[in-house]
Amino acid sequence: MYLLTQRENVVRIPPEMLGEELDSIVHQLARESYEGRIEGDSLTVMVQNIVPVGPGRIVHGDGAVYQTVRFDALVFRPQNQEVIEGEVVEVIKFGAFVRFGPLDGLLHISQVMDDRIDIDDAGQRLIGKDTKRDIKLKDKVRSRIVSISLNERNPRESKIGLTMRQSGLGKFEWLAEERAKKAEKQEEKGAAA
C-alpha cells in the first residue's frame, strides 16, 4: 500500500557544494539519500516538499555541513494478507516473479493454482496439467501477500511470498471466465424459476 508520510532526517552537504543555493542542494541530496531505500517496513519511492530545518551543523574534522531536513515521503509498505495486482516479469522452474508497485514477489508453483504444474522453460510458462491454464510473461494477476522479509541493507535480497490459491485470486483472464460462468448459472436459475 502507498502512504504519504512526513519525515525529518539529516543530509550531509559536502564542502564542494557549499557555494551553491541551499534549497536546490538539500533537495538533490535528500532525493539521492532516501529515494529507493528500504527503511523499516517500507520502501521510499519519492521525496518532495523538502525544507531545511534550522541551521546546519559542522562536525570537527569534517568539512561538510549536516543539515536537518523535513520532507514528505511517498512510501510503499507491503502488508501481510494484502491483495495486490501485478504483472508476471519472470518465470523460473520453481515459480514466477510478479511485479507490484516498486517490488517483486515470488509466486511459488505450489501457490499458483489447485492443479499440478508443468514448467515450459523455453516458452517461460507455468501450465496446469489438468486445467491447461497457464501463466506466462506479462500476464496480469491478482494475488495475496503471504510472507514479507524486507532487507534494509540490500533491497534486492528482500523476499515477498505470494499466493493465488484462494477465491477471487488468479490471472485476470481466469477471473473473467469465472465471473462469466457465475452469470450464466444465475441466468439458468432465473429461467428455470
pLDDT score of 193: 60
Q: Which residues make Cβ contacts (< 8 Å) with residue 49, sequence separation at least 6?
A: 71, 72
Prediction pTM value: 0.78
> Left (φ > 0), alpha (ψ -120 to 50) or beta: where does 168 sit?
left
- The whole-number average pLDDT for the span 24-42 is 91
What's 30's domain CATH number?
A: 3.30.1490.120
Q: Does some domain include residue 192?
A: no
Q: Which three cell numbers stand for residue 110?
A: 505450489
In terms of domains, do 100 and 170 share one? yes
Mean pLDDT estimate for the chain: 90
SS3 at position 117: strand
In terms of domains, do 93 and 131 share one? yes
DSSP letter, residue 8:
E
What is the H or E stretch that residue 126 is in?
strand 125-128
DSSP letter, residue 146:
E
The tally of domains found in the chain comes to 2
Residues 107, 108, 112, 118, CA torsion sign: positive
Q: Report the C-alpha gap between 105 and 41 in whole angstroms.
A: 15
pLDDT score of 74: 96
- The whole-number average pLDDT for the span 27-51 is 92
